[in-house]
Structure 1
C-alpha cells in the first residue's frame, strides 16, 4: 500500500510535467499542461524565499508552471512591494498577490531584505527597481484570494507550495462559503487542490523546533491534522544539507548589474556567505517531482504544543517527508545554481 500510494502521487507529477510547451510571451498564454502553482511565503525573513521565487519565474519561462498567485504571511508594506518588484523585473507583473493582517510577529527576526531592496535608489535618486502596483494596502487578504483563485480552477489541479507560516492556510480551511464558492474552505481545498508541499518541521532531531512551525504553532497543528489532500514536507534537515554558494552570487550574475534577488542576498548577511536552501527544495519537489529525493513511507504528521513535528508511519495516512543523501544534495545544489543563474526569458 505504501508503494502504491507513493507511485500514484508521483504519477500525478509525471503527467503534469510531460510535453510542456512554451507560452506566448506577448499574450501571456499558459501551456495547457503547465502545473498550476500557488506560492505561500514569509518573504523578507530568510533570503531562501527570494531564491525560491526566482526558481518559479524560471519555471514559468520554461512553460512548466502557471503561477496563479503569491500569498504572503509576513506583515508590512515591504513584503508585497518586494514581490511586486520581483514580478515586474522578471516580466510577470500580473501575478496576483495576497497579504496578511494580524499575522505572526516576525518583523525583528532577521534583516528585512525586502525592505532593503525596496528602498534602494540609483545615483539620480530614482528607485533602483520598478513597481507595477500603486497601493499595497488595498491588496486582498490571502485566505480570500485563495478562495477566488481556487474556485476558478479545475478539480484536483492546484499545487500549493508553502514555505512560510501556516497562518493563511489555516484561515483558508476555516472560511465559510461565499460569493466565490458555496463550499467551505476545507471542501474547496479538497475539491481543487491535488497537493500541498511545505517547508516545515524536523524529523531527525526531536529537540529542534523548526522556525516555520514555531511562528504559528496552532495554525501548523491545524494544517498538518486537517488538510484534506496529500501533503509532502521538506524538513529542516534537507535544506540545511544543501547550501547555495556565495561564489555563484558574486560571479554568475554579471549579465544583470541590478538584480533584485542578488541584491536581497547581499542585504541579508555580510558577504560572502553560503545559505541553506530550505524553501528551494519544496519548490523543486513540487515542480520536478521526486527524482532528486528520497521519500518517507506514507504516514501521518502531528505537531506538538511545543512545536515539534512527529511522523508516524501509517498506511491510511497521506503525509510524506523528503530526505537527501550527500550525493543527492550535491546534485540538487548544482541544479539550483544552473537554474537560478540563468538569465530570465523577459530580461532586457
Structure 2
C-alpha cells in the first residue's frame, strides 16, 4: 500500500438522512484516517432531519473519533415537518437514522446538542493553514451557502466567501447528472427525473414533496463559489452502478453501525440495493456508492489516474437540473480500491467490537497539513488569493471504479437568476480495458 506524501484534511458535509451511502462515506473516511491518509477535521449535517446529527455522532464515536466537531443545520430544508409525501421516504427520516441512535450510544443525540454548522465551518477554517482543507459535499448546499454568505465574526475577520477562498484547497461535490450522447450506459442507469437529488431534490416546488428550495440553493452556492478554489463533481451516473456495502453482512460483527445501517436500509428499500456473489459465495454489491466514491476521490489524488478535458454545464436554479456539454477523452481506475477500503471497514468494526467487549476504546486521529493548488488549462486562470472575483471558476468532474464497461463524465456550475454557461475543466473515463497510464493534461496536481 502506498504511503501518502501528504494527509488530506477533510470537512465532510453530509445530508445523513434517507440514503445509506452517507453512512458508507463516513465509514470509508474513518478507514482512510486509520491508514493515515486523511484527517477528519469536522462533519457538517446539512438537512432539517435533526436526528441525522445523532447518527453522525454514533459513527464517529463507534469508530474511535468522538472529538470530531459536528455542526448542525438549523433550517427546514429536508425537515420531516415540511415533507408532504409520506412515502418519501419514511417522511424524510430514512430507515436507519433512528435505529442507529436507539441501538448505539453517543454523546450527541440530535441537532439541539450540536454546535451550529456555520460556527463549526468558520472556526475550523479560521484555524487552518491557507489552502489546506478539502470540503467533501455529499448532500445539499445549505450549509456551504451559509458559509459563503456569512459576515465577519469572532472566529475570523473575513467574510465567508473570502475565508473559503483563503483556506480551502478544493471542493468535491457529489451532484449533478451526466447524460451524454455517447454514453452507451445512460439508458440503463438514468431515471425519468433529470434532476439529481443533491442538486435539486425532486425538482423544486412542482414535485410537491417539500424540498422546495434545493435547486435555488445549489445555483446560488455555485454562482458565489470562489473562483480560486477548484471544484470537483461526482455525478449521478458515476456512482449509480458501483454497488458496495454488502461485504459487511458476512464479515462485520453485529455491533458494527456500518453493517446495521446497510442491513436496515436494504431491508426496507430492497429495490435500491443490488446483490451478487463471487466464486467463493461471498455476497457483494449493496447500495450505489456516490458518497464513498467522493470521499475516496477527495483523499486520493485524481491527477495520477485521470485526464481532464474542457467542457461546460448549465444549471437551472428553479429546479436544480443540469445540462453538461463535454469533450471526449478516456482514462481508467482499478476497482480494487473499493475492496481494500471496505475490508478495512470490516476489520475496524471487528477490532472495535472486541474493544467494546473488553471495555477499551480504540482509534486516534493524526494531523498533517498540505497546501498546494496549481491549475494550468486554457479554461482555468491562475489563482489569486486576495481577489477571488478576478478569475473564472475552475471545475473538474471525475468518476471512479465501475465493475462494468461504462462511460461517465460530469461538471456543473450555476448562476443566480437564470441558467448560465460557465467554463469548466472535466474528465471522461472508460472502465474495462487496461491502458498505459499517461500524465494528465489540463489538470491540477493537489499534492496528496
Band of TM-score, shorter chain: 0.7 to 0.9
- CA–CA distance in 1 between the matches of 2:21 and 2:66? 21
- CA–CA distance in 2 between the matches of 1:192 and 1:166? 18
Q: Which structure has the larger Rg? A: 2
- CA–CA distance in 2 between the matches of 1:212 and 1:83? 19
- CA–CA distance in 2 between the matches of 1:223 and 1:329? 33
Judged with a 3 Å threshold, the aligned counterparts in structure 2 of structure 1 residues 257 and 197 are, in CA distance, closer, same or farther, namely same
Structure 2 SS opposite 1:342:
helix
Unaligned 5+ segments in structure 2 are 81-85, 181-189, 202-213, 275-285, 356-448
Judged with a 3 Å threshold, the aligned counterparts in structure 2 of structure 1 residues 209 and 336 are, in CA distance, closer, same or farther, namely farther
- CA–CA distance in 1 between the matches of 2:79 and 2:266? 17
Structure 1 SS opposite 2:144:
helix
Corresponding residue number in structure 2 for 1:202: 177
Judged with a 3 Å threshold, the aligned counterparts in structure 2 of structure 1 residues 307 and 132 are, in CA distance, closer, same or farther, namely same
Structure 1 SS opposite 2:309:
coil
Structure 2 SS opposite 1:269:
helix
Structure 2 SS opposite 1:69:
strand
Corresponding residue number in structure 1 for 2:342: 337
Kept in 2, the 8 Å contact 1:41–1:70? The answer is yes
- CA–CA distance in 2 between the matches of 1:197 and 1:166? 12
TM-score, scaled relative to structure 2: 0.61
Q: Kindly state the Cα deviation for residue 199 of structure 1 after the two structures are TM-superposed.
A: 0.6
Judged with a 3 Å threshold, the aligned counterparts in structure 2 of structure 1 residues 250 and 265 are, in CA distance, closer, same or farther, namely same
Query: Alignment partner for residue 268 of structure 1, among 265, 268, 285?
Result: 265
TM-score, scaled relative to structure 1: 0.78
Corresponding residue number in structure 2 for 1:118: 101
Q: Kindly state the Cα deviation for residue 231 of structure 1 after the two structures are TM-superposed.
A: 0.3
- CA–CA distance in 2 between the matches of 1:92 and 1:152? 20
- CA–CA distance in 1 between the matches of 2:110 and 2:60? 15
Q: Kindly state the Cα deviation for residue 75 of structure 1 after the two structures are TM-superposed.
A: 2.1
Kept in 2, the 8 Å contact 1:97–1:140? The answer is yes
Corresponding residue number in structure 1 for 2:165: 190
Corresponding residue number in structure 2 for 1:238: 238
Corresponding residue number in structure 2 for 1:49: 22
Listed one character per residue, the Cα deviations across residues 257-280 of structure 1 (whole Å, up to 9, x for unaligned) are: 311111111111316742100101
- CA–CA distance in 1 between the matches of 2:174 and 2:166? 23
Q: Kindly state the Cα deviation for residue 157 of structure 1 after the two structures are TM-superposed.
A: 0.4
Listed one character per residue, the Cα deviations across residues 146-194 of structure 1 (whole Å, up to 9, x for unaligned) are: 0111000010000000000011111111001111111111100000001
Q: CA RMSD in A?
A: 2.8
Structure-to-structure mapping, 1:1-348, within 5 angstroms: 17-18=4-5, 33-105=6-78, 107=80, 109-110=88-89, 111-120=94-103, 129-133=104-108, 136-204=111-179, 208-215=194-201, 216-228=214-226, 229-244=229-244, 246=246, 248-253=247-252, 256-270=253-267, 273=274, 274-290=286-302, 294=306, 296-304=308-316, 305-311=318-324, 328=333, 330-343=335-348, 347=352, 348=355
Unaligned 5+ segments in structure 1 are 1-13, 19-32, 121-128, 315-322
- CA–CA distance in 2 between the matches of 1:139 and 1:226? 27
Judged with a 3 Å threshold, the aligned counterparts in structure 2 of structure 1 residues 87 and 296 are, in CA distance, closer, same or farther, namely same
The answer to which of 107-116 and 158-167 deviates more is: 107-116
Kept in 2, the 8 Å contact 1:37–1:161? The answer is yes
More helix per residue: 1
Kept in 2, the 8 Å contact 1:103–1:167? The answer is no
